[in-house]
Amino acid sequence: MPFRISEECPAGTPATYRLAGRLDGDAAEVLRDACVGIAAGAIIDLAEVSYADDAGLRALGELRARGAVLHGSRPYLTLLLQEAPGGR
């Protein structure tokens, strides 16, 4: 499945970015570009992310460091995120 990002910004709530597909090097750059102005508290929905390489994990870590909330990841991705530098 190709990488996709959809953004939802309901009035009065934090933006939600729904990611789907493989989060590899090229997709990590797309994610960074899409989230340039991301606000603290924005939700990154990872439920449909099927794979993430080191570049993808770094991009997610950068977003988390900027205050984004990573949500809904599959168990293996959750483990990788916890083991990554700055992981929780």
What are the sequence ranges of the domains in the chain? 4-83
Average pLDDT over the chain reads 91
pLDDT of residue 27: 97
Which of helix, strand or coil describes residue 57? helix
| Homologous superfamily of 4-83 | STAS domain (3.30.750.24)
How many whole angstroms separate alpha carbon 42 and alpha carbon 76? 23
Mean pLDDT, range 24-43, rounded to an integer: 93
pLDDT at 87 over 70: no
- What is the pTM assigned to this prediction? 0.90
Q: Are 23 and 59 in contact (CB under 8 A)?
A: yes
- Here the tokens at position 25 are 């090097």
pLDDT in tens, 46-73: 999 999 999 999 999 999 999 999 999 9
How many whole angstroms separate alpha carbon 17 and alpha carbon 72? 12
The residues with which 52 forms a beta bridge, in sequence order, are 23
pLDDT of residue 11: 81
Q: Are 52 and 23 in contact (CB under 8 A)?
A: yes
